[in-house]
Amino acid sequence: MTRGNRTFFKEGDKIMPKENADVSKSGGTVTITAVNKLQIERLNQTIEISAEDLAELDEKDLTKVHVKDETGKEVLCQAVDTDGDYAADQLIFQADFASGQTRTFTVTAGGKRVYTKEQFRAYGRFVRERCDDFCWENDRIALRIYGKTLETCVLYPLTSSTVDIWSKRTTRMVINDWYMVDNYHGDTGEGGDFYSAGLSRGCGGNGLWAADKLWVSKNFVSSRPLANGPIRVIFELTYEPFEVNGVMVSEVKRISLDAGHNLTHFQSIYKPENQMELINGAGLKKVEGERFDVNEERGWLAKWEPMEMNAGMQGLAAIVDANLFEKQTEDQLNLLMLARVPDDKTASYWAGFFWDKSGQFADYEAWKKYVDQFAQGLISPIEIII
C-alpha cells in the first residue's frame, strides 16, 4: 500500500522507504539522518536500512555491521532476513525521538555481533509440545496463535485462527519459562494467561467479509520463522484454503512485532481461486462491560474491558489503513474493522493490547492516546531524506 512516495504498512511501523533514505557513504562508513516530522515524542522507533544501502561498507555479512549514535554510543542492531533465503537483506535498529527531532547515526563494519540473553526484547517460537502453538512476545506483551494439532487435542480441542493474549508485567522474555513450568493461568508475579479467545477473533484475528458475514480459516498447518530478535520477531503461518461465500481462498499470514511496542503487525496474503473483491475484517473479541471508540480518519478502534479471573482491566486496539477503511461493524463474537484488500491481495493491519497491572499506561485515555499516535506514525514514518 502506498501513500504518495511513502510505503505504508510495511515491516516495522515507523520505517523509511528506500527512496526517502538519506544515506551518505564515505570512507567505509554510512551516515544516516533520521527526521521525526510529527510534533510528538516517539520512542522505540525502528529504522530499516537495506543491504544495498550498506554496500559501501564492503561487508556482506550484516551481523558484522555496527551502528553508533551522535554521541558515539553503540546502538543495538539486528540483521534481518525478510525473504527466508538465509541471507540477511536488512539492518534494523531503534532510536527515540523528541518532537520534531532530527538525529544522525553512523554505520561501520567490524567484528561479528554476539548478543546476550538480556539484550533480547523480542522473541518467538513454535511450541510443538503445546499442540502446535506459535507464541511471540516483546518487552511489553505476549501472544499466541493455534496450530493444527489443537483441533484434535484430547484434553482441550479447539478449531480457531484466533489470537490469544498473555499479559505481562515484566520486560523479560517469559515464553520458554511459562511453557516449561506449565502454570501460567494464574499470576506468577510476572503476569499470566487470563484471556479466553475461543472461537472469537481474540486480539487481532481476522477473516474475509462477504454476504454480511465474516469467513475465517481454521488453525495454521505450518510455520516459518524469519527473524527472532533481539529487536524484531517475524514469522509466517500457512493455512488450508477456506471458503468465502462459495469461493476457496488460501492464506499465508506474516506476523511481526518490534521491541517497545504494544501492537503487532499482521499481513494476510490471500489467493482466491476466482477473481473477487476482498474485504478484510480485523477483529477484537466482544466482552460484556466493554466500551470502545472508533477514529475513522486514522483507521483505529480502541476498547477497554474487564478481564477474566478478576485480573483487572485491559485495553485492546486494531488499526487499518484509513485510505482502505470501509466501516466498523460487528458480528456475534467480535468488533470488526473492515478494510478493502489492495490489488496485491495482501491485507495489512495492526492489533494489540495492554494490561492495567503492567504499569505501561495509566488508564483508557492514555491507551487511546497511544493508539492514536501510533496511527499517526504509520501515516508519517520517521523520515530519512536524501
Instruction: Write down all domains in the chain, each with its CATH number in brackets.
Output: 2-110 (2.60.40.1180), 132-377 (2.70.98)
Whether 275 has a pLDDT exceeding 70, the answer reads yes
Q: What is the mean pLDDT of residues 116-137?
A: 96
pLDDT of 385: 53
Whether 351 has a pLDDT exceeding 60, the answer reads yes
Q: Cα dihedral angle (139, 268, 203, 180), rounded to 10 degrees?
A: -50
8 Å CB contact between 124 and 228: yes
Nearest to 349 by CA among 330, 312, 366, 374: 374
pLDDT of 6: 30
Mean confidence (pLDDT) of the chain = 92
Place of cell 466501516: 327
Spatial CB neighbours of 174, under 8 Å, sequence gap ≥ 6: 137, 142, 166, 168, 190, 191
Whether 343 has a pLDDT exceeding 90, the answer reads yes
Grid coordinates representing 370? 497511544
Classify 132 as helix, strand or coil. coil
Whether 19 has a pLDDT exceeding 60, the answer reads no
- What is d(CA 358, CA 314) in angstroms, rounded to the nearest whole number? 10
Burial state string for 113-141 with b = 16 or more CB within 10 A and e = fewer than 16:
beeeeeebbbbbbbbeebbbbbbbbbbbb
Spatial CB neighbours of 81, under 8 Å, sequence gap ≥ 6: 87, 88, 89, 90, 226, 227
